[in-house]
Homo-oligomer: A and B are copies of this chain.
Amino acid sequence: MTSLSKMLNVLNMFGPDSLLLDVDSIADGMELSRATAYRYVKELCESGLLSRVDGQYTLGPRIIELDWMMRRYDPLLSNGREIISELCKTTGLNVYISVFYDGRIINTYINSPDTEAGFSFGRGQPLPLFKGAQSKVLVSYQKGRKLKKLFHEAIENNAEYDFTWKSFSQITRSIRQNGYCITHDELNSGLTGIAAPIIRPDTDDILGSIAAVGGTSSFQLLRHEAVIELVKSAANRIAAKIVSSDSDKSPAA
C-alpha cells in the first residue's frame, strides 16, 4: 500500500458517526505514527478536503466546492431543471434524477412538490444496483458487454438478488422494449416509481434516468399511462436539450 492510498484512506475514517476526528484517532485508526498522521492531515487540509476545527479535523470546504462544480456543469441538471420542475408540478410527485456512476447508482437531484423536503438528503444518496425503477432502467440500458459484465460482477453472486443470466436479461430486455420501468414497494414500501432513461439520440448513450415517485395515495388519482408518457417525454426533452446545447458550443462536432 502506497503512501498515496494511505493518505486518501484517511478520508474513509470520516463517517456518519465520526465527522469530527482528532489526529490521534486518525493515527490509531489508520495505524500511522503521530507524525505521519499529521503530515497526511496537513496535506489534506491544504487541498481543502479536510478542515481544522478547534483541534479536531473534519471534511473540508473543497468538497462542497467540487460538488458545486459538478452540479453546475452537469448537463443533466443544467438542461433538466426546468423540465423536472414542470413534471413535478403537473404530477405532484417527487422527481428524481439518477445516474450510473463507477458501477454504482447514485441520485443526483430531487425535486419535491413541497419545497423543503428532500433537498438535503437527496443528492448523493446511494441506491441499490437493481432495485427501484431508477436503478433498473439505468442498468437495463447499459450496452451489451457492459451489461453482462455488470451482471457477473455485481448481481450474480450478490445475496440481495436471485437472478440467472437468462431471467435477468429477460427483464432488462423488456424494460428496453417498453422504454420505461414501473416498480411498487421495491425501495420503500408504499411507494411507486416510474422511471425512463435519458438517452442521447445522436450517440445512443444513456446519460441518466428520470423518475416520478409517490405514495399509493398520490398514484390513485393518476392514470399510470398518462404519468408514464409524461416521464418519457420529459426524458426525451432533456436529452434533446442536452444535444442542442452541446452543438451550440462546438458546432463542428
CA distance in complex: A60, B19 (Å) = 20
* CB contact between A63 and one of B66, B112, B119 (< 8 Å): that residue: B66
Closest residue of B by beta carbon distance from A68: B124
Q: How far does the Cβ of A198 sit from chain B's closest Cβ, in whole Å? A: 16
Asked whether, in the complex, the Cβ of A102 is within 8 Å of the Cβ of B70, the reply is: no
The answer on a CB contact under 8 Å between A43 and B101 is: no
A131 at the interface (CB under 8 A from B): no
Tell which of B7, B52, B64, B82 touches A67, judged by Cβ atoms closer than 8 Å: B64
Whether B72 pairs with A63 at a CB distance below 8 angstroms is: no
Mask of A102-132 contacts with B, CB within 8 angstroms, 1/0: 1010101101100110011101111000000
Q: Which residues 19-37 in A have Cβ within 8 Å of B in the complex?
A: 19
Of B47, B88, B124, which is within 8 A of A115 by CB? B88
> Quick check: is A162 within 8 A (CB to CB) of the other chain?
no
Stretch at the interface among A10-18, A152-160, A223-231: A10-18
Q: Are A11 and B88 in contact (CB under 8 A)?
A: no
Residue in B5, B9, B82, B121 whose beta carbon sits within 8 Å of that of A116 in the complex:
B82
Number of contact residues on A: which range applies? 35 or more
Q: Contact at B64–A19, with CB atoms within 8 Å?
A: no
Q: How far is the CA of A44 from the CA of B11 in the complex (A)?
A: 12
Cβ of A200 under 8 Å from chain B:
no
Assess whether A84 is interfacial by the CB under 8 Å rule: yes
What is the copy number of this chain in the assembly?
2
Please state if A81 and B4 are interface contacts (CB–CB under 8 Å).
no
Beta-carbon nearest neighbor of A74 in chain B: B120
Would B116 and A68 count as touching, CB distance under 8 A?
A: no
Is A40's beta carbon under 8 Å from chain B? Answer: yes
* Residues of chain B within 8 A of A68, CB atoms compared: 121, 123-125
Q: Note all chain B residues with C-beta closer than 8 A to A65.
A: 106, 124, 126
Chain B residues within an 8 Å CB radius of A84: 116
- Indicate whether A253 reaches chain B with its CB closer than 8 angstroms: no
B116, A72: Cβ atoms closer than 8 Å: no
> Is A46 among interface residues, defined by CB-CB distance under 8 A?
yes
- Report how far A11 CA is from B70 CA in the complex, Å: 13
26 inter-chain pairs at a CB distance below 8 angstroms, sorted by A residue, are A2-B43, A4-B7, A5-B43, A5-B46, A8-B49, A11-B66, A16-B72, A19-B70, A59-B66, A61-B102, A61-B106, A64-B124, A65-B106, A68-B121, A68-B123, A68-B125, A69-B124, A71-B120, A71-B124, A72-B121, A77-B120, A78-B120, A81-B119, A82-B116, A111-B115, A112-B115
